[in-house]
Amino acid sequence: MDIIIYKNIMEKGTQTNTTDIEYISIYDKPKRKKGRPPGSKYTVEERAERARLSTMKYYYNNLEKERERSRINKAKKKNTI
């Protein structure tokens, strides 16, 4: 008889989760997504336009240097051909 009462007390003593909210620990690190990150938000045409603008900006900010480089490259082509 004592064993049966003890068994009933143990069954009633267990608690069940009555909420549907998932437990989130504050100590767990957030998981990273698998695979490569998503691609660029720009289209192919927008990327090409941005590259052109960047190149033009660099060229005009370093005009003397770029003109000298251009002269050197033209001289090298004349000598090699």
- The encoded tokens of residue 41 equal 């938000």
Cα-atom radius of gyration of the chain, to the nearest Å?
Answer: 36
d(CA 31, CA 28): 9
- With beta carbons less than 8 A apart as the criterion, state whether 24 and 17 touch: no
pLDDT at 23: 75
**Low-confidence stretches of the chain (pLDDT beneath 50):** none
Please give the pLDDT value at position 39: 80
31: alpha, beta or left, given left = phi > 0 and alpha = psi -120 to 50? beta
Domain ranges of the chain: 43-81
pLDDT of residue 79: 87
Q: What is the pLDDT of residue 46?
A: 94
